[in-house]
Amino acid sequence: MAKKKIKITFAFTIISGLLIWLTLSGFEGEMQYSIGIKEVKAMGEAAFDQGLRVKGFLVPGTLQRSQNSLEVNFVIEDAGQEMAVRYAKVLPDTFKDGAEVLVVGKYQREGYFDAQILMAKCPSKYETGQEYDIKNYDPSKHIDELEGTN
Protein backbone atom coordinates (compact mmCIF):
# COMPACT_ATOMS: atom_id res chain seq x y z
CA MET A 1 0.00 0.00 0.00
CA ALA A 2 2.84 2.41 0.83
CA LYS A 3 4.53 1.71 -2.52
CA LYS A 4 1.29 2.57 -4.34
CA LYS A 5 1.08 5.94 -2.51
CA ILE A 6 4.69 6.70 -3.40
CA LYS A 7 4.05 5.89 -7.08
CA ILE A 8 0.92 8.06 -7.16
CA THR A 9 2.71 10.95 -5.42
CA PHE A 10 5.67 10.63 -7.79
CA ALA A 11 3.41 10.55 -10.87
CA PHE A 12 1.41 13.54 -9.60
CA THR A 13 4.62 15.51 -8.97
CA ILE A 14 5.99 14.73 -12.44
CA ILE A 15 2.71 15.63 -14.18
CA SER A 16 2.33 18.84 -12.16
CA GLY A 17 5.90 19.89 -12.92
CA LEU A 18 5.41 19.16 -16.61
CA LEU A 19 2.21 21.21 -16.73
CA ILE A 20 3.87 24.14 -14.98
CA TRP A 21 6.85 23.99 -17.34
CA LEU A 22 4.59 23.85 -20.42
CA THR A 23 2.54 26.78 -19.18
CA LEU A 24 5.55 28.97 -18.44
CA SER A 25 7.44 28.11 -21.62
CA GLY A 26 4.31 28.71 -23.71
CA PHE A 27 3.97 32.26 -22.42
CA GLU A 28 7.65 33.10 -22.78
CA GLY A 29 7.21 34.48 -26.29
CA GLU A 30 4.16 36.47 -25.24
CA MET A 31 6.04 38.28 -22.48
CA GLN A 32 7.73 40.65 -24.90
CA TYR A 33 7.03 44.28 -24.07
CA SER A 34 6.53 47.00 -26.63
CA ILE A 35 9.27 49.55 -27.08
CA GLY A 36 9.46 53.01 -28.56
CA ILE A 37 11.09 54.02 -31.82
CA LYS A 38 13.95 55.68 -29.96
CA GLU A 39 14.81 52.37 -28.26
CA VAL A 40 14.74 50.50 -31.58
CA LYS A 41 17.16 52.95 -33.17
CA ALA A 42 19.41 52.84 -30.09
CA MET A 43 19.71 49.05 -30.43
CA GLY A 44 21.86 49.42 -33.54
CA GLU A 45 22.63 46.12 -35.31
CA ALA A 46 20.77 44.09 -32.68
CA ALA A 47 17.46 45.56 -33.87
CA PHE A 48 17.74 43.69 -37.18
CA ASP A 49 18.07 40.19 -35.73
CA GLN A 50 14.93 39.85 -33.66
CA GLY A 51 11.18 40.26 -33.65
CA LEU A 52 10.04 43.51 -32.07
CA ARG A 53 6.85 45.12 -30.79
CA VAL A 54 7.03 48.84 -31.51
CA LYS A 55 4.48 51.42 -30.39
CA GLY A 56 3.74 54.82 -31.85
CA PHE A 57 1.11 57.08 -33.36
CA LEU A 58 0.12 57.12 -37.03
CA VAL A 59 1.43 60.35 -38.54
CA PRO A 60 -1.52 62.05 -40.31
CA GLY A 61 -1.32 62.01 -44.11
CA THR A 62 1.39 59.33 -44.38
CA LEU A 63 -0.79 56.33 -45.27
CA GLN A 64 -0.06 55.14 -48.82
CA ARG A 65 -2.01 52.20 -50.27
CA SER A 66 -0.79 49.93 -53.05
CA GLN A 67 -3.07 49.75 -56.12
CA ASN A 68 -2.41 46.05 -56.73
CA SER A 69 -2.29 44.52 -53.24
CA LEU A 70 -3.17 44.99 -49.58
CA GLU A 71 0.26 46.48 -48.90
CA VAL A 72 0.32 49.84 -47.16
CA ASN A 73 3.16 52.11 -46.14
CA PHE A 74 2.89 54.66 -43.36
CA VAL A 75 4.92 56.44 -40.71
CA ILE A 76 4.56 56.15 -36.95
CA GLU A 77 5.89 58.70 -34.46
CA ASP A 78 6.83 58.39 -30.80
CA ALA A 79 8.63 60.98 -28.66
CA GLY A 80 9.78 62.97 -31.68
CA GLN A 81 11.18 59.94 -33.52
CA GLU A 82 9.63 58.60 -36.73
CA MET A 83 9.72 55.18 -38.37
CA ALA A 84 8.46 54.02 -41.76
CA VAL A 85 6.28 50.88 -41.62
CA ARG A 86 5.22 48.42 -44.30
CA TYR A 87 2.20 46.16 -43.72
CA ALA A 88 0.54 43.78 -46.19
CA LYS A 89 -2.70 42.63 -44.57
CA VAL A 90 -6.16 44.05 -43.93
CA LEU A 91 -6.07 47.20 -41.80
CA PRO A 92 -8.12 47.36 -38.58
CA ASP A 93 -11.18 49.64 -38.61
CA THR A 94 -9.65 51.79 -35.86
CA PHE A 95 -6.56 52.56 -37.97
CA LYS A 96 -6.96 56.29 -38.61
CA ASP A 97 -4.70 59.37 -38.64
CA GLY A 98 -3.31 59.98 -35.16
CA ALA A 99 -4.30 56.53 -33.87
CA GLU A 100 -2.06 54.82 -31.36
CA VAL A 101 -0.66 51.70 -33.02
CA LEU A 102 1.41 48.67 -32.09
CA VAL A 103 3.33 46.91 -34.85
CA VAL A 104 4.90 43.49 -34.46
CA GLY A 105 7.57 42.38 -36.90
CA LYS A 106 11.18 43.06 -37.84
CA TYR A 107 13.14 46.24 -38.42
CA GLN A 108 14.82 46.04 -41.83
CA ARG A 109 18.29 47.25 -42.75
CA GLU A 110 16.70 49.42 -45.44
CA GLY A 111 15.27 51.59 -42.65
CA TYR A 112 11.63 50.49 -42.49
CA PHE A 113 9.71 48.21 -40.14
CA ASP A 114 8.17 45.13 -41.79
CA ALA A 115 5.04 44.55 -39.70
CA GLN A 116 3.39 41.13 -39.59
CA ILE A 117 0.81 42.20 -37.00
CA LEU A 118 -0.74 45.65 -36.63
CA MET A 119 -3.01 46.69 -33.79
CA ALA A 120 -4.67 50.09 -33.51
CA LYS A 121 -5.92 51.25 -30.14
CA CYS A 122 -9.59 52.08 -30.08
CA PRO A 123 -10.03 55.65 -28.81
CA SER A 124 -12.08 55.78 -25.65
CA LYS A 125 -15.44 57.46 -25.90
CA TYR A 126 -14.86 58.67 -22.34
CA GLU A 127 -11.72 60.65 -23.13
CA THR A 128 -12.58 64.31 -23.67
CA GLY A 129 -9.20 65.69 -24.63
CA GLN A 130 -9.68 68.42 -22.00
CA GLU A 131 -7.84 68.78 -18.73
CA TYR A 132 -9.72 69.83 -15.63
CA ASP A 133 -8.45 71.58 -12.51
CA ILE A 134 -10.24 69.46 -9.93
CA LYS A 135 -8.68 71.29 -6.95
CA ASN A 136 -10.37 74.56 -7.96
CA TYR A 137 -13.63 73.04 -9.19
CA ASP A 138 -16.74 74.95 -8.13
CA PRO A 139 -19.92 72.86 -8.53
CA SER A 140 -22.14 75.91 -8.02
CA LYS A 141 -21.11 77.08 -11.49
CA HIS A 142 -22.70 73.96 -12.97
CA ILE A 143 -25.75 73.56 -10.73
CA ASP A 144 -28.12 74.76 -13.47
CA GLU A 145 -26.79 72.13 -15.86
CA LEU A 146 -27.22 69.41 -13.24
CA GLU A 147 -30.76 70.46 -12.34
CA GLY A 148 -31.73 70.46 -16.01
CA THR A 149 -30.90 66.74 -16.33
CA ASN A 150 -33.62 65.57 -13.90
The segment with the largest mean pLDDT, out of 95-99, 136-140, 144-148, is 95-99
**Amino acid 29: pLDDT:** 52
pLDDT in tens, 47-102: 887 889 999 999 999 999 988 988 999 999 998 999 999 999 998 888 888 889 99
From the list 101, 48, 42, 36, the residue with the least C-alpha distance to 74 is 101
- C-alpha 90: how far from chain center: 17
Q: Which residues pair with 107 in a beta bridge?
A: 113
CATH no. for 32-120: 2.40.50.140
Domain boundaries, the chain: 1-31, 32-120
How far from 31 is each of 17, 28, 56, CA to CA, in Å?
21, 5, 19
**Amino acid 130: pLDDT:** 58
Confidence category of residue 125, pLDDT binned at 50, 70, 90: low
Q: What is the DSSP string of 48-68?
A: GGS-EEEEEEEPTT--EE-SS
**Amino acid 93: pLDDT:** 86
Integer Cα distance of 41 and 6 in angstroms? 56
Confidence category of residue 28, pLDDT binned at 50, 70, 90: low
**Amino acid 126: pLDDT:** 53
